[in-house]
Amino acid sequence: MNEERGTRDDQRAQADPSSGLGTPDGHQARPALGHDGSAPGTAGARGPGGTGGTDGAAAAGQRPAKKRSKSRSWWIELPILLVFALVLALIIKTFVVQAFFIPSSSMENTLEIGDKVLVNKMVYDFRAIHRGDIVVFNGEGSWDPMTSQTAPPLTRLWNSIIGLFGTAPGVHDYIKRVIGIPGDHVACCNAQGQITVNGVPLREKSYLYPGNAPSTIRFSVTVPPGRLWVMGDHRNVSYDSRGHQALPGNGTVPENKVVGRAFVIVAPVSRWRVLSIPATFQQPRLAQAAGSAGPAGPAALPVLSAPVASAVPLGSGLVVAIPLTWLQLRLRRRLAGSQRGSRPPPRPRSWRRRDPHRPGRG
């Protein structure tokens, strides 16, 4: 009887494998798994990481949208960064350093036509103007008549932007060397044909144009308070204080019209050099003579003030370098982000369910 029942059960199991009664060997029958571990008919229903095919398509559709939003934000931020850089450059030009082109030969061979110099506008906030300084000054009201008309705001803004690359058009700016400071007695010439300052002769061979005499025009001027006596290094062609003696101030220019001190030639590259004060203006006798003159005494010590003067361009450079470096880093990060967004996403690895009966690595 038992044997017969067993035979019927085996036959019923073979006829209906889904009945769950088991197999002849005593194990329950299981449906065959696909190569990825899923049941037949469900292959591909789940993607890598358990994400369904529909979710994967939605994620793929979101990638172009994210890429477009990144691109739009970049093109919105780029003009903002450019405007910020322009405003920063205008602030630096107005208060710290400005570039000037040399338009004439009055300062040859120290400065040649086409040279580009940087002018430090902050140096005279820390020290007085020294003899031997090469200064840029505005001649309006001294050498040139006052301009009564004021340019429109847009014209002034445009001139300021152009001035970032050199002297703005229509500005009465001159560049000369300071020979006498307030209280100095400047005269030409002694028995040797030299210009004297407070009776001390100047040895000008290091900067005077070759073949030029110190001056062919005779003069004897005591520089008024708050004014300067300036001359070009190419004396035969320079229309400087000597040629304006008929004007108020006897050809001198106001100190408050000085834009700044030219301290370096930056272009062309072959002409690059620092514009230092010649040694003749640092003679001990010149400083002593100025000290005995009274008002000129404190400003007649270029050697003592030189460390302060040299630190001003360095400090200005740091002030300029910090925000520009920050701006450069921002631009680099944005460019790197846009390049990463333009690359195609990496292909996902195909995940396979490990067969429990397949021998693995120990």
Which residues are tagged catalytic? Answer: 106, 176
Buried b (16+ CB within 10 A) or exposed e, 134-160: bbbbbbeebbeeeeeeeeeeeeeeeee
- Cα–Cα distance, 192 to 305 (Å, whole number): 31
**CA–CA separation, 268 and 114 (whole Å):** 8
CA distance from start to end of the chain: 51
Per-residue model confidence as pLDDT tens for the chain (362 residues)? 444 444 445 444 454 444 444 444 444 444 444 444 444 444 444 444 444 444 555 555 555 666 666 666 777 777 887 777 777 777 776 778 888 989 899 999 999 999 999 999 999 999 999 999 999 999 988 898 877 666 677 776 676 666 666 665 557 899 999 999 999 999 999 999 999 999 999 999 999 999 999 999 999 999 999 999 999 999 999 999 999 999 988 999 999 999 999 999 998 999 999 999 999 999 988 877 665 544 443 333 332 233 333 344 444 445 555 665 666 666 667 666 666 655 566 665 554 555 555 444 44
What is the dihedral angle through the alpha carbons of 196, 306, 300, 243, rounded to the nearest 10 degrees? 50
Question: What span, in angstroms and rounded, lies between the C-alpha atoms of 163 and 93?
Answer: 8
- Helix, strand, or coil here: 68? helix
Burial 302-334 (b: 16+ CB within 10 A, else e): beebeeebeebbeebeebbeeeeeeeeeeeeeb
Tokens of 306: 């030189």
Give 13: exposed, middle or buried? Use CB within 10 Å, 0-12, 13-18, 19+. Answer: middle
- This model's pTM is above 0.85: no
